[in-house]
A and B are shown apart, each in its own frame.
Chain A
Amino acid sequence: MISAPTKQILRAQLRSFPANGHTAYLPNVRKIVLEFCQKLPSSTNTRTFISNDLERLAWQKPHVEFVVKQRNGHEPIARGFYVNGRDKVIPLQEFEVNGVERKVQLLLDSSGAKIKPLKKGRIVESTAEAARGIWSGLHVDTPFKI
Chain B
Amino acid sequence: MATWQIRSWLSSTIRRVASCSVSTQAVLPKNASAAFSLIRSQPSQYIVASLAGRKYLLAPRDLLTVPHLKDVRVGDVLALQDIHEVGSRDYTLRGDPVISSSRVRVEATVVEHTKGKMEVVFKKKRRKGYQKTIKNKHPYTRLRIGSIQFSEPSHS
Contacts and interface: CB of A to CB of B under 8 A. Distances in A.
A126 B88 CA distance: 16
B20 interface: no
Given A123-B64, A123-B65, A22 B146 contact: yes
A2 to B, nearest CB: 30
A140 interface: yes
Contacts of A110: 112-114
A19 B138 CA distance: 24
B44 interface: yes
B23 interface: no
B12 A23 contact: no
A131 B62 contact: no
Contacts, number: 110
A124 B56 contact: yes
A27 B44 CA distance: 28
A110 B115 CA distance: 9
Tell me the interface secondary structure of chain A in the complex. Answer: loop
Given A22-B147, A125-B62, A126-B62, A119 B74 contact: no
Given A132-B89, A133-B89, 7 more contacts: A19-B144, A115-B117, A124-B65, A125-B65, A128-B60, A131-B88, A141-B16
Classify chain A's interface size: 35 or more
A96 to B, nearest CB: 20
Interface of B: 1, 5-6, 8-9, 12, 15-16, 42, 44-46, 56-65, 74-75, 87-89, 109-117, 138, 140, 142-147
A124 B62 contact: yes
A130 B115 CA distance: 29
A130 B59 CA distance: 8
B146 to A, nearest CB: 6
Interface in A101-131: 106, 108-111, 113, 115-119, 122-131
Contacts of B9: 135, 140
B109 A25 contact: yes
Contacts of A116: 116-117
Contacts of B140: 118
B109 A140 contact: no
A13 interface: no
